[in-house]
Amino acid sequence: MKGRVYVNKKKIFVLVLVMTLMLTGCGQIATLENGEEVVAKLDGKTITAEDLYSELKKQGGAVTLTNMIDNFIVGKEIKTDDDAESYADSQLSSYKQSYQSYGQDFGEALKSAGYSGEDEFKEELILEYKKNIVTENYVKDEEISDDDIQKYYDDNIYGDIEARHILISPNTDDDMSDDEKTKAEEKAKKEAEDIIKKLDDGEDFAKLAKEYSDDEGTASDGGKLTVTYGSVVDEFWDAANKLKDGKYTEEPVKSEYGYHIIYRISQKEKPKLDDVRDEVIDSLVEEKMNEDSTLQTKALVALRKKYNLDITDDGLKESYDNSVNTALSNNTNQNSSN
């Protein structure tokens, strides 16, 4: 189910350790003759704090330790601001609505997952937001070169195009048979071709747009619109970008919306790189994060090094190294688009 809160078994480890520390502080733990602290007795057998620690280490100890470390250093690195609060509130609201839509109790789901309530869950959402900021900053500093920026600028930044268009949409619905849909498509294409013939005969584009276009947002203004790269479907942009000023498409341009006839008025000068540099970097960050799911691990490893992380327990150190290496080798976004 969308929005499910998964049980975080790592929290059990933390709770046990906290309980152990509390008991130690209150002087409620018995000791053996050799000084070892006893946390439980059963039928003559004793379980010491060291026994408990050794066992818990094997059951996700390195992961829990790493989470505790990250909570601390990420909190120091990124302060909670209005954006973080807004993100957490939005996500929390989305989770609650999802559970309500299925008739389930969100509060009970949180308790089942080990959270004391919404406030604790919200803190985890804020931490998630901060980790994303840490990752974005890492990508900007370590993963994006000047060559990357220049190439993206060359390939993806264009001047806006002033244009007019006429959209002829096929009159179809889900209840139609495939044959009926095909006939509706053919009819729409034929109508678009007939309009192009009218243009060839010298009729006014704006007048025809007002009369025939199915695009309610532009038809009343003679089909006029400003086209920005990325703001329209690729088929529309490619056709408009190839046209010369004062020319229209000689064949209908097919897209998911129907058949377009496009008239290019003019194109603005391409903005200078310095003026769109931040926009380019943000786009590259998003692109790289979608392509490589290991970037957050890399970012957090780098941040731990910045804060001089030193795991002194050899067993935990080995487990930590193994978990990092495993995470770095598992790029779940490879060869996929998100």
What pLDDT does residue 330 have?
85
C-alpha–C-alpha distance, residues 69 and 251, integer Å: 62
Same domain for 260 and 289, yes or no, is no
The DSSP bridge pattern shows strands 224-227 and 161-168 to be: antiparallel
Contact (Cβ atoms closer than 8 angstroms) between residue 198 and residue 191: no
pLDDT tens digits for the chain (338 residues)? 333 333 343 444 444 444 444 444 444 545 555 657 777 888 778 878 788 777 777 777 788 888 889 999 999 999 999 999 999 999 999 999 999 999 999 999 999 998 999 999 999 999 999 999 999 999 999 999 999 999 999 999 999 999 999 999 999 888 899 999 999 999 999 999 999 999 999 999 999 999 999 999 999 999 999 999 989 999 999 999 999 999 999 999 999 999 999 999 999 999 999 999 999 999 999 999 999 999 999 999 999 999 999 988 888 898 899 989 999 998 876 544 44
Residue 303 maps to a domain: yes
Number of folded domains that form the chain: 2
In 3D, which of 189, 322, 188, 198 has the Cα closest to residue 251? 189
CATH number, domain containing residue 242: 3.10.50.40
pLDDT of residue 315: 84
Place of tokens 């000084």: 35
All residues at 6 or more sequence positions from 55 whose CB lies less than 8 Å from its CB, including other chains = none
127 and 229 fall within a common domain: no
Q: Do 24 and 140 belong to one domain?
A: yes
Say which residues have a Cβ less than 8 Å from residue 221's Cβ, sequence separation at least 6.
Answer: none
Report yes or no on 232 lying in a domain: yes
Residue 152 lies in a domain: no
Query: Which three-class secondary structure state does DSSP give residue 253?
Result: strand
Separation CA 277–CA 158 (nearest Å): 13
The pLDDT score that the predictor gives to residue 33 is 53
One domain, residues 258 and 303: no
Residue 146 is predicted with a pLDDT of 97
Residues 15 and 94 in one domain: yes
Asked if 180 and 125 sit in the same domain, the reply is: no
Show which of 229, 247, 267 is a domain's final residue.
267
Looking at the domain assignment, is residue 171 inside a domain?
yes
Q: From CA 261, how far away is CA 190, in angstroms rounded?
A: 12
Q: What is the pLDDT of residue 54?
A: 79
Answer whether residue 183 is part of any domain.
yes
Domain boundary pick from 267, 295, 314: 267
Residue 85 lies in a domain: yes
Same domain, 53 and 131: yes
Same domain, 135 and 182: no
Q: How far apart are CA 114 and CA 82, in angstroms?
A: 27
Q: How many CA atoms lie within 13 A of 46 on its CB side?
A: 12
139 and 211 share one domain: no
On whether both 308 and 195 belong to a single domain, the answer is: no
Please give the residue range of the domain that contains residue 21: 10-145+278-329
28 lies in the same domain as 128 = yes
Question: Which of 236, 267, 298 is a domain's end point?
Answer: 267
Pair (140, 284) in one structural domain: yes
Q: Is 5 within a domain?
A: no
Q: Single out the residue of 113, 124, 115, 17 nearest to residue 74, CA to CA.
A: 124
Q: Does 214 map to a domain?
A: yes
